[in-house]
Amino acid sequence: MKKLLLSAAVTATMFAASATHAAEYVIDTQGAHAFVNFKIKHLGYSWLHGRFNTFDGSFSYDSANPNASQIMVTIDTKSIDSNHAERDKHLRGGDFLNVDKFPTATFKSTSIKFDDDGDEADVTGELTLHGVTKTITFEIDKIGEGKDPWGGYRVGFEGETSLKLADFGIDYNLGPASTHVDIGLYIEGIRK
């Protein structure tokens, strides 16, 4: 029994030590090296593309223990931009994002599971959008990491997922081809 308890204590200590070695990164929104994009089918004939211009966040990452990583992103929903002022006004209103009542959307990871190569992962977490919180999963790819020309250190990832609008209380009828929106998260982080 003592050996089992000692083994559990050592394992817990090693896990805690490895989690504390993860570097902290700030998402590089200042340099515009990060994007939150979306696309949705328009009547089933084409794609409508857009993005959120204002967001911020941070993440922790250690290539030696990538599954201990975490990410947190906050999006200003008023910053939605589909390159069409009247449409954006409608998207900000009560039929869609209702930005006066729900000015932010947030995502906070609860687990990250990388493949054996450390290049691809499933990121699961809680997305709060339009006042509704749901567990979602992003499939992400690591783009790369290393020193930058200014003496810093960076790492970048991209990921996509598809959201059913009705799951988040957005039930405006856009037709049967437009029930889901694809979200793309493209982030480059600068190590603190």
User: Strand (E) positions, 130-172?
Assistant: 132-147, 153-164
7-16, 145-154, 175-184 — which is least confidently predicted? Answer: 7-16
pTM of the model: 0.86
What is the pLDDT confidence band of residue 191, given thresholds at 50, 70 and 90?
very high
What is the pLDDT confidence band of residue 6, given thresholds at 50, 70 and 90?
very low
Contact of 59 with 69, CB cutoff 8 Å = yes
Q: How far apart are CA 73 and CA 28, in angstroms?
A: 12
User: In sequence order, which residues have a C-beta less than 8 Å from that of residue 29 and are 6 or more positions away?
Assistant: 54, 55, 56
Query: Residues 58, 151, 61, 23: is their CA dihedral positive or negative?
Result: negative
pLDDT tens figures, 35-50: 999 999 999 999 999 9
Classify strands 70-76 and 80-81 as parallel, antiparallel or unpaired.
unpaired
Structure tokens at 39: 């696309």
